Amino acid sequence: MQVKLQNWAAEEVGTIDLADDVFGLPARTDILARVVDWQLAKRRSGNHKTKGISEISGTTKKPHNQKGTGRARQGSLRSPQMRGGARIFGPVVRSHEYDLPKKIRKLGLKTALSVKQSEGKLIIVESFSDTTKTKALAVEFANRGWGSVLLIDGPEVAENFRRAAANLKHVDVLPQQGANVYDILRRDTLVLTRAAVEHLEARLK
């Protein structure tokens, strides 16, 4: 498919061919959900923890006699039914990460790109701005109507542009190797450079 190629001033400077098998796939919410869940699971720290009975400090003495008191039998003050006692089957420190087939991960990224293209929220530019000031870049984004935007460049993002965009709210800048489903879907507009398109198509073929 052919789409407009723009410069940073939003002027059309030509067209660019997008691969149908990367930018023209049907929407698959099931695939997108699987990949997003996988990404977010890897980000979880997994450091939640409660104490088991062996970790509770306290006496090992039996609270009272087994019989003759009229009360329920008790074996330990550290038991879960006691105040300050253990918790049974509580969370432990662990990794939430799990494996997802490479084919599913690749299909998820292609589907996310296709969704942005079908919604008309994919913009292809020749290159990013050479602006080095955050305030000036914010004005440029406002003029383009970009409130929530993800910008993806080629293998490297110009350091001046990355720094200028770093303090802008709802703006993310990534090199092409950092492109991922979660970041694409969480921003309203996706902006790719010509270099990003070429590298993404080569990577997802």
pLDDT of residue 179: 96
Backbone angles phi, psi at 125, to 5 degrees: -120, 155
Instruction: Give percent of the chain above pLDDT 70.
Output: 100
Type of residue at 2: Q
Which domains does the chain show, CATH number per domain? 2-43+97-204 (3.40.1370.10), 50-90 (no CATH)
Q: Which residues contact 140 (CB under 8 A, 6 or more apart)?
A: 8, 129, 131
Report the SS3 class of residue 189: strand
pLDDT band at 48 (very low <50, low <70, confident <90, very high): very high
Quick check: 175 and 153 in contact, CB under 8 A? yes
Sign of CA dihedral 84, 86, 90, 95: positive
Query: What is the pLDDT averaged over residues 85-107?
Result: 96
Output the CA torsion 89→91→93→97 (10° steps). Answer: 110
DSSP tally for the chain: helices H, then strands E = 7, 6
Quick check: 179 and 135 in contact, CB under 8 A? no
pLDDT tens per residue, range 130-186? 888 999 999 999 999 999 999 999 999 999 999 999 999 999 999 999 999 999 999
Residue 205 has pLDDT above 90, yes or no: no
